[in-house]
Amino acid sequence: MKVLVLGPGGREHALVRALLADPFVREVHAAPGNAGIAEDVPTHAIDANDPAAVTALARTLGADLVVIGPEAPLAAGVADALIDAGIPVFGPTRAAAQLEASKAFAKQVMAAAGVPTAMARVAATDEEASEALCTFGAPYVVKDDGLAAGKGVVVTDDLDAARAHASACFSAGGTVVVEEYLDGPEVSLFVLSDGRTVVPLAPAQDFKRIHDGDQGPNTGGMGAYSPLEWVPATLVEEVLSRVAQPVIDEMAHRGTPFAGVLYVGLALTSRGLRVIEFNARFGDPETQAVLARLTTPLGGVLLAAAKGTLDQIDPLMWSPQAAVAVVLASENYPDTPVTGRRVRGLKKAARVDGAHVLHAGTRLDDGKVVSAGGRVLAVVGLGDSLEDARVTAYEGLSRIELEGGQARTDIALAAARTGVAVGGPAGAPA
């Protein structure tokens, strides 16, 4: 089949790479893609958030499946337009994508479905935010109710900082969700759905803070790893039975069936698992690590989700190897990143046995790869152990040069050396 992947980032490069490895996929295209994706497949310079433009391109290409990577096209109704045109699409409708686009809506769905999550209040004014913050106490968790590209959350012991974040959201015309703080390590689980059936991928853990030791501001994600040997063996089944299936059933009951991937962000607290939030698409950079381990051909699985036949696929197969993804970010990320700087050493990094490079914020400038965003790329390392995968990933990263580039040195370090996760504050989105 022929597949069109929408999006410009590292998650989309991972999807493209996995689809190219599928013997049943004869052709892959991307829109708009990035410098790395363009080396692998044809790219098309359209606005991926424009339903009409995406539908026209899919028709021109004769795409058998469109895979939507980021959240923005989902919120723009791209999946709706493709469905109306009779083109199979992996990604939920705009109404179903409200599970990510509105944290308040997601809380309503969780309440109706009996899903364990943090206590929360929606606030639309400074007074309401202050009251909620004082009710829950420190650490304070304040979330922008809308899409915020993974950086709309503040988790802090500083009441003034929490109030300031809420005020900034109000000034922009939005509302916030104020939550109780969740203790314990975080786990990311992607669950594929066709609107009825749920199929889990392998759990992963990502690292949101910009600096080692979970210090500094939240980012879109600085690295991830899989598998998680330290989680309970029953965790995935518990998430399916207590979270994923009830939510999918509730969405269907509301007349807005969810078909695509439901990202379940979890905190394993002292009181049991709690849902931090949902995303309506693959998380980044967890996707880079998780798909590196998937041995089942990806295209057929995504097509089954798009066509409502997930109950007919065989169980997913996974490599026993571990995968570690380490992100290289631009100078001054996550504030105003410095872009346009040359990225060198990509071919050297790719020659490291067991490593591959996935582009995120890159573009070509006179034939040279330069940075074009906050997170520039991820180096993924595979190994027979988590420590081996770490060594491979960091060896690949050491061969890449980017002036002012930032990367954490502790991705998967605690889990590799002690077998126990060290979790930062729960509440950051993927």
Q: Which two tokens stand for residue 145?
A: 């109710």
The confidence score (pLDDT) of residue 143 equals 87
The confidence score (pLDDT) of residue 183 equals 86
What is the distance between the alpha carbons of residues 57 and 229, in angstroms, rounded to a whole number?
Answer: 43
CA 386 to centroid of chain Cα atoms? 21
What is the distance between the alpha carbons of residues 398 and 50, in angstroms, rounded to a whole number?
Answer: 39
| Closest by CA position to 281, among listed 295, 296, 299, 261 | 261
The confidence score (pLDDT) of residue 333 equals 97
Point out the least confidently predicted range of 86-100, 216-230, 260-274, 413-427.
413-427
Cα–Cα distance list, 6 to 3, 32, 81, 357 (Å): 10, 7, 14, 19
Q: Which two tokens stand for residue 247?
A: 């939510």
Query: Are residues 61 and 132 both part of a single domain?
Result: no
Query: Are residues 72 and 142 both part of a single domain?
Result: no
**Residue 424's pLDDT band (cuts 50, 70, 90):** very low
Please name the residue that has the structure tokens 């995504």.
Answer: 302
The confidence score (pLDDT) of residue 118 equals 87
Task: Decide if pLDDT at 152 tops 90.
Answer: no
Query: Are residues 27 and 87 both part of a single domain?
Result: yes
Domain limits at 27? 2-93
Q: Which two tokens stand for residue 349?
A: 């990094």
Task: Decide if pLDDT at 74 tops 70.
Answer: yes
Sign of CA dihedral 224, 227, 233, 239: positive
pTM of the model: 0.90
Please name the residue that has the structure tokens 């930062």.
Answer: 424
The confidence score (pLDDT) of residue 426 equals 39
The confidence score (pLDDT) of residue 218 equals 87
Range 387-396 average pLDDT = 98
Q: What number of helices (H) and strands (E) belong to the chain?
A: 16, 21
Asked if the bond preceding 8 is cis, omega within 30° of 0, the reply is no
Query: Are residues 141 and 81 both part of a single domain?
Result: no
Query: Are residues 125 and 77 both part of a single domain?
Result: no
Rounded to 5°, angle at Cα 274 from 273 and 280: 120
Query: Are residues 13 and 89 both part of a single domain?
Result: yes
The confidence score (pLDDT) of residue 145 equals 80
Query: Are residues 73 and 138 both part of a single domain?
Result: no
pLDDT tens for residues 7-60?
999 999 999 999 999 999 999 999 999 999 999 999 999 999 999 999 999 999
Domain count of the chain? 2
What is the distance between the alpha carbons of residues 71 and 201, in angstroms, rounded to a whole number?
Answer: 19
What is the distance between the alpha carbons of residues 160 and 166, in angstroms, rounded to a whole number?
Answer: 10
Task: Decide if pLDDT at 2 tops 50.
Answer: yes
Choose one of 179, 200, 226: the last residue of a domain. Answer: 179
Please name the residue that has the structure tokens 């004014």.
Answer: 125
The confidence score (pLDDT) of residue 418 equals 84
What is the distance between the alpha carbons of residues 336 and 353, in angstroms, rounded to a whole number?
Answer: 34
The total number of residues written for the chain in this structure: 430
Residue 34 lies in a domain: yes
What is the distance between the alpha carbons of residues 90 and 79, in angstroms, rounded to a whole number?
Answer: 8
Task: Read off the CATH number of the domain in which 126 is found.
Answer: 3.30.1490.20
pLDDT tens for residues 161-188?
999 999 999 998 888 989 888 888 999 9
Q: Quick one: DSSP state of residue 427?
A: T
Point out the least confidently predicted range of 66-70, 141-145, 213-217, 384-388.
141-145
Residue type, 416: A
